[in-house]
Amino acid sequence: MKEHVERVAQWIVDSKRVVVFVGAGLSTESGIPDFRSPGGVWDKYDPGDFDFGRFLSSEKSRQTYWRMATEMYDSMKNALPNAGHLAIAELEKLGKLDCLITQNIDGLHFKAGNSPESVLELHGTAMHVTCLDCGKRYERDEVQDRLIKGENAPRCLACGGILKPATISFGQAMPERETAEAYRRSESCDLFIVVGSSLVVHPAAAMPVVAKRAGARLVIINRDETACDNLADLIIHDQAGPAMAAVLTRVRQLLA
């Protein structure tokens, strides 16, 4: 692994545009359950119950959705960024991060120190709630207080519309600005680093392919094999956080 760390660190130092792409594997190292892994959310709930169309059309589905969302939020709200999050935030501080594209909804990158301007949240965020009718935004804790007091499917206090965590559900359109910008940044980078993603969820998983086809080096740091291993210039099969932290330690030394 030491040789791989050395090569990735040197590539970062030499690159002009570094894009980091992050998946659930990094969040699990901060104690946040994965949706798909054994013991994850889909072991407890049927994914079909959370289709966006069902959420809109059924009060019962909205109540089930909010129960699931509350379980997820309870594991997220007090979670702390791990060594991988901190390493990526330091990349930005060192001026070596063009942008961070994340599939995660937990807000840990901001706790670690990344700026909102540098982060593209492809799947939204669980840290806020929005009204699907008037667009009013609520802090998540404000809505959680209402759930604790007995509301099963809270409504907007301004217009009475349907409230939903600001995440992207099955069947819901991807955020236009973030998706378009992620494609643009992927196509224009010279180094694309995947951290903690199995690269199976689309369209997000297309980003490393876009980067590679445009001529970028592709690095994958993930515990298990991914759908893009055959395209990668270098693969580190290890825990995402410690591996990324080791890379940043070497980057600091090279830049000193």
Domain with residue 216: its CATH number is 3.40.50.1220
**Tens-digit pLDDT profile for residues 184-232:** 999 999 999 999 999 988 888 899 999 999 999 999 999 999 999 999 9
Is there a single domain that holds both residue 9 and residue 21? yes
What total number of domains does the chain contain?
2
**Tens-digit pLDDT profile for residues 126-179:** 999 999 999 999 999 999 999 999 999 999 999 999 999 999 998 999 999 999
Cα–Cα distance measured from residue 152 to residue 65, given in angstroms and rounded to the nearest whole number = 10
DSSP E strand stretches across 94-247: 99-102, 119-121, 124-131, 137-139, 163-167, 191-195, 217-221, 234-236
Is there a single domain that holds both residue 119 and residue 129? no
Which of the 8 DSSP states describes residue 127?
A: E
Is there a single domain that holds both residue 138 and residue 220? no
Of the residues 4, 85, 109, 123, which is catalytic?
123
Q: Which of 134, 167, 200 is the last residue of a domain?
A: 167
Q: Which of 167, 201, 226 is the last residue of a domain?
A: 167
The answer to whether residue 85 is catalytic is: no
Q: Is 132 exposed, middle or buried (0-12, 13-18, 19+ CB in 10 A)?
A: middle
Q: Which of 167, 186, 202 is the last residue of a domain?
A: 167
Q: Which range marks the domain in which residue 48 is found?
A: 33-78+124-167
Is there a single domain that holds both residue 152 and residue 57? yes
